[in-house]
Structure 1
């Protein structure tokens, strides 16, 4: 036998190395999870500017909320939502997924009450209809989530009624015109495309000759599937609001989102971009969202956000 390590010694050495690697991996995973749970409460306001209003109109300040995924007891989130009323927006746009718990309707409405002093519109997301289910968080990285089995229904009618009583307009597969700071704004909204529920209602019909006057067309949807963006772009929308993606929720610094939870390219999972379809172009604001599923309460390199979009005139 030579003077080297015995076979048994080599086995013990390899075993210690594997154990150390496993311990390091577990520690790194725990650190990432801890960071992710901290970041999910680091709320930020993203501000954007867009010159799309008819000449002589504006500015108009639009506050975009999406994917709140509220759970009872989220006092920090509730306080931050209420504080957004200090921005005094001219319009609030809510693109759905407000809930993440069967008992969240009342505390959510209480948190949003200060914002209901301002005109608003809304559409639902799948998590307004159904509660999230417990599953492997890593499944989020496999691509768009599928239809839930044995889903628990949420009290969407009461949430919708609460929004309506607060003065916000329901755009679920319907249209509505509002006057915002003297400008006629035509809205067209759809039910959640992630559930395949969208039905296009066109645009509000004005009185004879009214379409020749200055106005703005805004489309509102929860999930920014390409078929939805194509439709509204080709149908003459001036601006489109959507959410659903959570901005990727788990991102790589310097790279960005790994998934968008729909067929939207991942580099478009958060932010203000232009969408092109059949020779037309529409600005699209995709919110990175405010919350997470209560069963995957982490964000990494993707802080929760509300968006303040400052609309100004073209000239």
Structure 2
């Protein structure tokens, strides 16, 4: 069907400018001439194409320092998969650095012809991965959430990724129909006694591959910022040694899950340490280093996608 409005939208122009710059290799002066706009407008359109996610750039050339750190992390922890993305510079957001690398890693599994079940956590890094993904048809696979999709106020969790990925790859998907954290252990048990919830839990526990974010349990803990735990609950878990969480389940510096705090009321599925199949952590940032280290030690995760500064901090720490 043809468009009824012949005038290009701003994003139409930005997409064309981004294509000419990143794919066509044109200069901004050449883009301005091609589009019939000023050089300044061409520059703004190229910037908009990137900012709006209309263009995704992936690095195909392996950088030696990153490869060395991948090899050393793999050796120390016996990792099944490891990817270290180049740094974006001091003060840069690590999620932006690792999003394309994480997307490429997930796409590798999605392109496999044999049907598989892919279990997914949530968080900013996971959202960044989804934003960097290339749309494809992967309806041979099933996607299942590891974590509840109901926030404390009853709304859908903002960083839930199962449905976002399903939209991009057109795969059957199974949200976890429970609260992220229930008010009481009894309510959590009641949810998990429901037949539909049991089916989703069974599917998640049998997943062929796992992709999860790794959250810190310091004072900037995502669980606190997003309203899933109170300040008092965070204090209690910190006193018990909490340093990180995966899919809402809190663990200490050795990667041992705690038996206190919200772990008594957490919905969803706990990622078991020592899985014999890929369990890949997607995480970067100085505040996450203790959490990533703990998850690696106990093999809650046996794969990692991170950036140069985080990889270096992990290797210097251990």
Greater C-alpha radius of gyration: 1
TM-score range, shorter chain: 0.3 to 0.5
**Greater RCO (CA < 8 Å, at least 6 residues apart):** 1
TM superposition score normalised by structure 1:
0.34
Give the strand-richer structure, 1 or 2: 1
TM-score by length of 2: 0.34
